[in-house]
Amino acid sequence: MSLLSLFCPPEAVPAAKPNSAADNAPESVLSENRRATYLAAFEQHTLHTYALAGLPASGLPLDVYRQALMGYYQLQKRGLANPSKNTLTIIDFNRSSRLKRLWVIDLQKSRVVHHTLVAHGINTGQEFAQAFSNRVGSEMSSLGFYVTSHTYTGKHGLSLRLRGVDPSYNTNAASRAVVVHGAEYVCEEFVQRHGRLGRSQGCPALPMKESSAIIRTIKDGTVLFAHAPSGVRYDSDWLELDPALQAFAQVKGLN
């Protein structure tokens, strides 16, 4: 059994597509030897940092973390994410809204900085997130990779703008005003009263007591990945294997 089959089932790594939507970057095919070398290094790095950060005990699946890293390194290589920041935010929409399903990870120190509740859109589901949209007015959450932008103070207090970088999945984030903000309905007390977390209009809303600290940690060009739940289709150019391995190798100085 290959390392690839162990850590990334076939459906998790879409085949290369012509005319890639990820900024139409030129395709570059790795040789078999180089792919094997980079893949082994990437898998070792993924497993090591996953364990070092204590992610197994926190409930974040290895395959979700792995996919988030694939996009993270590509966004770093392409200059879309801030190279001076090593912060990765992951939302696992496969988990119940009753559970903590947002992680902010310091990749340089391999530690979890924040682990908390996060809301999904009112039309995305009740306890579980089931339906997603990039459409304006849908009041649904959107999947995929984002790069954080600047903060502002709005009706929810300190808030953070997001740039969606997954075509057809989240590129309308700005026009939909999908931002990170705090909300009173994102708390354990709401879960105890209603059996689920409160819902937003599509924003990844956070607990009021934690939102400002999280926003300050992840603002200004860090990567956020919203993972699709089981049974929901999500095919992204950011999860193509060869570009991800090349990006990892470049960022880590392996090539």
Quick: pLDDT tens for 91-112: 999 999 999 999 999 999 999 9
Distance CA 20, CA 238 (A): 10
Confidence of residue 195 (pLDDT cuts 50, 70, 90): very high
Asked whether residue 16 is domain-assigned, the answer is: no
Map residue 78 onto helix, strand or coil: coil
**Tell me, what amino acid is at 232?**
V
Look at residue 28 and tell me whether its pLDDT is greater than 90.
Answer: no
Quick: pLDDT tens for 80-90: 999 999 999 99
Asked whether residue 8 is domain-assigned, the answer is: no
Exposure string over 178-214, b if 16+ CB within 10 A, otherwise e: bbbbbbebbbeebbeeeebbbbbbbbbbbbbebbbeb
Asked whether residue 22 is domain-assigned, the answer is: no
Asked whether residue 12 is domain-assigned, the answer is: no
Assigned token pair, 169: 């999945």
Asked whether residue 6 is domain-assigned, the answer is: no
Using CA atoms, how far residue 120 sits from 114, 115, 124, 157, 206, in Å, is 18, 16, 6, 19, 10
**Tell me, what amino acid is at 102?**
L
Q: What is the DSSP letter of 201?
A: S
Which residue range is the domain that position 120 belongs to?
Answer: 29-251
Assigned token pair, 44: 């070792």
Q: How many domains does the structure of the chain reveal?
A: 1
Q: Give the strand pairing for 144-154 and 206-207.
A: unpaired
Distance CA 241, CA 151 (A): 33
Cβ atoms within 10 Å, residue 255: 12
Assigned token pair, 41: 């290094």
Asked whether residue 216 is domain-assigned, the answer is: yes
Tell me the CATH number at 69.
2.40.440.10
Distance CA 101, CA 98 (A): 9
Asked whether residue 10 is domain-assigned, the answer is: no
pLDDT at 255: 74
Asked whether residue 160 is domain-assigned, the answer is: yes
